[in-house]
Amino acid sequence: MELIQIYQCFCDATRLRILHLLTQGPLCVCHFQEILDIPQTKVSQHLSYLRKRDMVECERRGTWMIYSLPEKQPRELEANLKCLQDCALSDKRFRDDLSRLAKVKRGAVYKETISSKTCC
């Protein structure tokens, strides 16, 4: 993975928010919809963009796709994701995303999705 490829993925606000959320663990498309408050089609387009560039991995669970960061991350990606986590703390939009993520994780739907074959 080239550094330029990483920054191309980082240059969009929605993709940046998705990547930041994935630093906290795997999520389903419906979770991104809820947290980011954007339509499923827009979430899927951004996730497809990231997946084609090896920035995210996905796993099918029944009819649902669960997205996560690559298990083995190139050094450049790992370093940039750490920087993103540090910098995001000072941005209200990212803090709000983390608050909404915490609410989603407390919900039964999240637990069922991540640990079983069902989702929203």
- Residue carrying the six token digits 């608050």: 99
Q: Output the DSSP codes for 15-68.
A: HHHHHHHHTT--EEHHHHHHHHT--HHHHHHHHHHHHHTTS-EEEEETTEEEEE
Q: Which two tokens stand for residue 64?
A: 């649902």
Which of 6-10, 84-88, 96-100, 105-109 is the least confident region?
A: 105-109
**What are 64's strand-pairing partners?**
61
* Tokens 């986590």, located at residue: 85
Look up the pTM and report it.
Answer: 0.87
Which residue intervals of 53-117 are DSSP H helices? Answer: 75-88, 92-106, 108-115
Say how far apart CA 37 and CA 12 lie, in whole Å.
Answer: 16
Q: Using CA atoms, how far apart are residues 94 and 89, in angstroms rounded to an integer?
A: 7
29-88 pLDDT per residue, tens = 999 999 999 999 999 999 999 999 999 999 998 888 899 999 998 899 999 999 999 999
Q: Tell me the C-alpha distance between 70 and 87, whole Å.
A: 21
